[in-house]
Amino acid sequence: MTGQTKRVVVAMAALALTASSLAVWADEDADLVVNGEIEMVVRTDAPAHLDGAVRTIYSGWVFRQDDTQAMQMDDFDNPGMLFAEQGQELFNTAMGANGESCASCHTNAEDLTRVRATYPKWDEAHGAVQTVEMQVQECQTESMGMAEAWGQNSQEMLNMTAYIASIGRGQVIDVAIDGPAQATWDAGKEIYYTRYGQLELSCANCHEQNYGNYIRADHLSQGQINGFPTYRLKNARLNGTHNRFRGCIRDTRGETFAIGSDEFIALELYVASRGNGLTVEGPSVRN
């Protein structure tokens, strides 16, 4: 394992040197239109708060190989949509002491169209920034009388967040980073630039300074989260945002934070804000 991780560093150094010849931008110009109707913004000017750290922000879709890209262009080819459909069924299924379904209160699911594009979001009543998962859990325990809410990384929750993302596809991401959310955002930004693990790599080392390069055989993206939850061909299931963060930190041989931890909530807000201007793509298809 040590040998392997060492190679990562060596490879990155080599890649950085040869970036111009190795960076394959074959699909940089590809546009993403899903089902021939939902037009996605896969590249746009970086939000002002990035302060020139990158000039253009890109959806992770841009960096994938053409056949992986194609799987996301048509709902039929996108296995993630199977789970979004199961989420839709759950949305209409009674659960909890009051025998209510989500649809009992949210009679028009379309009202949730902007949710994925605006979360994580400050919740006044709880005095904290909430992820979509936390909001769903809140509805379950506080409104529906469920003794125990779905786990943050449970299949039900992944299906539900895939459904909520799917109704917001094409919406331009615009998470608020000022006002009461600012402190959390600052904390997330700090985590983003902190070097973790034996490899001493920060998120920025890979996703800000080396996107477009190859790490081992993987084409590095900007680590955007507009496509979450993602259906990964690697494990053939939906993957949540915090789970992916965890994997990335683990790859630096670092101690990682827990799914649902304050650190990951802050990091999610910060990473989401780096994608302000891109569009909601979840459930997307990734390798």
**What amino acid positions are annotated as catalytic residues?**
248
DSSP state of 278: B
Query: Per DSSP, what are the bridge partners of residue 33?
Result: 39
- # residues near another protein by CB under 8 A: 34
DSSP state of 188: H
By CB under 8 A, residue 274 contacts another protein: no
State which residue, 224 or 276, has the beta carbon closest to ligand HEC: 224
Burial class of 84 by CB neighbour count within 10 A (0 to 12, 13 to 18, 19+): buried
Residue of the chain from 43, 189, 244, 274 that contacts another protein (CB under 8 A): 244
Select the binding partner of residue 60 from ligand HEC, another protein, none (C-beta < 5 to 8 A, by kind). ligand HEC
> What are residue 73's phi and psi, to 5 degrees?
-85, -10
Binding site for ligand HEC (CB under 6 A): 60, 63, 100, 102, 104-106, 112, 115, 123, 125, 132, 135-136, 139-140, 143-144, 160, 164, 201, 203, 205-207, 215, 218, 220-221, 223-225, 227, 230, 244-245, 248-249, 251-252, 267, 271, 286
Omega prior to 120 cis, within 30 of 0: yes
By CB under 8 A, residue 235 contacts another protein: yes
Rounded to whole angstroms, the maximal C-alpha distance in the chain is 62
AA letter at 248: C
Question: Which contiguous run of DSSP H or E holds residue 2?
Answer: helix 2-17
Residues near another protein (CB under 8 A) are: 8, 64-65, 67-68, 76-77, 79, 82-83, 85-86, 206, 215-220, 232-237, 239, 243-244, 246-248, 250-251, 287
